[in-house]
Structure 1
Amino acid sequence: MAQSRPRFLVYTRTTAYRHDSIPEGVRAFRELGAEHGFDVAATEDPRALERGLDRFAAVVFLSTSGDVLTPEGREALRSLLRGGGGFMGVHAAACTEYGWPYYGELLRARFDRHPALQPGVLTIEDRDHPATGHLGATWAFTDEWYDFRASPRGAVRVLASADETSYEGGGMGADHPLVWCHEHDGARVFYTALGHTCEAYDDPAFRAHLLGGLRHVARSQP
C-alpha cells in the first residue's frame, strides 16, 4: 500500500502586527510541498484548529502575532504535540500568545524588540541539521534581527545566532540565538527568527532552511 503524503498546516492569524510577507510565505511552503511530495493547507481561521489537528504531521505558525488561539485551539495544539506531531515557528511566531505559558515553554523565547531592517550576518553554530546543513560557517541575510527577552541557550539546541557586530542596534550581545530546535511535551519544535521580507521566501537558501525545519519537526524527509 502506498504511504500517504505528509500534511502540514500553515497558520497565519494575526491580532497585532501583520507582516506583508505572509502571502509569500504561504506560497513558498506550498511550492516546497509540490516539489518535495507533501501537502500544505493554510488558514487564518482559529475554528479550523478547534476541529482537531491529528491529520497533520506538524503545524507551522508563520508570522502569527498576538492572541491567535481559542481555548479549544490551544487544547488541539497540545493534543497534536502529545500525539507525536511537530511544531515550527517562523519569525513573528515569537510575538504570539504572550499570555499562554505553555506557548512560551513551547517556543522557549519571547520577542522583545528589533532594530531597523538591515543586512547582517548569522553565525552557523550547528551544521549537522537539515535546516543549516546547506550553509557555510556564516550566512549573510537581511532581516529585523529579533532580540528576545532572554536567550534560550541551555534549554534548546542552537543552530544559528546573530553576529551583532555585523549590523546596528543589536541588544543581546554575544549570546544571540536566532534559530534553534528542542523537544517539548514529546514533540519536536523548530524556530527561526528569519522571514520578515517578501524577498526572503524566494531565496533558495532560505527555502532550504524552511524545508529543513519541516523535515525536523515531522520526523521525516518530505
Structure 2
Amino acid sequence: MRKAVAILLAVSLWIPTVCSAQTSKPRVLIFSKTLRYYHESIPNGIATIMKLGQANGFDVDTTKNADFFTENTLKKYAAVIWLSTTGDVLNPTQEAEFKRYIQAGGGYVGIHSASASEKDWDWFGQLTGAVFVNHPPDPVDGVVQVVDNKDPSTRQLPKRWPWKDEWYNFKKRMTDVHVLMTADESTYQGGTEGAYHPLAWKHSFDGGRAFYTALGHLESAYNNPLFQQHILGGIQYAIGKNEKLDYAKAKTAKVP
C-alpha cells in the first residue's frame, strides 16, 4: 500500500513539469500598426513570416489593431512580432497589458522600425534593447559584420555580409544584450556610433525573451533567404519552449 501511494505521489509531482509546454503548436502575432512612416515592405514581411510559419511549425496571425493587446488575446501567443511599427501605437492600458504579457513569459520580436515605436516609453526601449535616433537619407550598400556565427539567426551568414538598408543609429542602448551582428561604418556614410555599432541582438528581459534586428527596410529584404533565416532564428528564440504563460508572475498591475 505504501509503495502504491509513493508511486501515485511521484506521478502527481511529475505531471505539471511535463505539461508546462503548450500541447498545440506555437502561435505568433504580427503587429504592424503605424502612426508615422509606413514601410512599403510590411505586406511582403507579413507574407514571408506566414510562409516561415507554415514551413517551420508555427501559426501566424496578423493585426494593425492595438485592441488585441489584452490578456485574453495575448495569452494565445508565444511571441508578438512588431513589424516596422512606428509612433506611439499603444495607449496606457494596452502598454500595461503588453508589459504583463512579457512578465508572464511572452516573447517579443522587433523588426526594423520597431525601435522607432513608443520612443518615450522607457520599458519598451529596454525590451527592444535600444531606441532609434536617425539613419542616412536613403538606403545604401554597406557591410554587416557577424559577431556570433553559431546563433540560429546568423549562422547562415558570411562573416562580412554585403547588405543594403537604412543603417539605423541608436540611443539608450542596453549593455546586457547578446549582440549578434554589427555595422561596419567604414563601408557607408552616416554612421554615428563608431567602431562598435550593434544591429541585431537578443536578451532575456523582465520575464520574457526579446530579439531585435534593425534590418528590413526594403521589400526585397524579405525575399532574401539569408534574411529570412535571420528573422526565423529570432522568432524561434522569442517562442522559446512554447510554455504556457504564467500571469501570476506579472508584476505590473492591470489598468482598470
Output the TM-score relative to the length of structure 1: 0.94
Match of 1:38 among 39, 49, 58: 58
| C-alpha deviation, 1:88, in angstroms | 0.6
Partner SS state of residue 33, structure 2: coil
CA contact (8 A) 1:52 1:76 kept: no
| C-alpha deviation, 1:211, in angstroms | 0.4
Q: Distance in 2 between matches of 1:8 and 1:138?
A: 31
Match of 2:202 among 168, 181, 184: 181
Match of 1:170 among 191, 201, 204: 191
Number of aligned pairs? 220
Q: Paired residue for 2:152?
A: 130
Larger radius of gyration: 2
| C-alpha deviation, 1:78, in angstroms | 1.3
CA contact (8 A) 2:131 2:173 kept: no
Match of 1:64 among 67, 72, 85: 85
Q: Distance in 1 between matches of 2:57 and 2:84?
A: 24
Give per-residue Cα distances to partners, 1:57-116, cap 9 Å, x unaligned: 000100000000122221221122111111110000000001212111111211011012
CA contact (8 A) 1:66 1:98 kept: yes
Give per-residue Cα distances to partners, 1:148-206, cap 9 Å, x unaligned: 12544x32111000001111221111111000111110111100000000000010000
Q: Paired residue for 2:246?
A: none
Alignment of 1:15-34 (within 5 A): 15-34=35-54
C-alpha distance 151-81 of structure 1, shift in aligned 2 (>3 A)? closer
| C-alpha deviation, 1:3, in angstroms | 3.5
Letter in 1 for 2:56: H
Alignment of 1:138-177 (within 5 A): 138-152=160-174, 154-177=175-198
Give per-residue Cα distances to partners, 1:17-42, cap 9 Å, x unaligned: 11111111111110111111211001
| C-alpha deviation, 1:220, in angstroms | 4.1
CA contact (8 A) 1:151 1:177 kept: no
Q: Distance in 2 between matches of 1:99 and 1:145?
A: 22
Pairing 1:91–2:112 present: yes
Q: Paired residue for 2:213?
A: 192
Q: Distance in 2 between matches of 1:43 and 1:29?
A: 13
Letter in 1 for 2:152: P
CA contact (8 A) 2:87 2:119 kept: yes
Q: Distance in 1 between matches of 2:66 and 2:173?
A: 30
Long gaps (5+) in structure 1? none
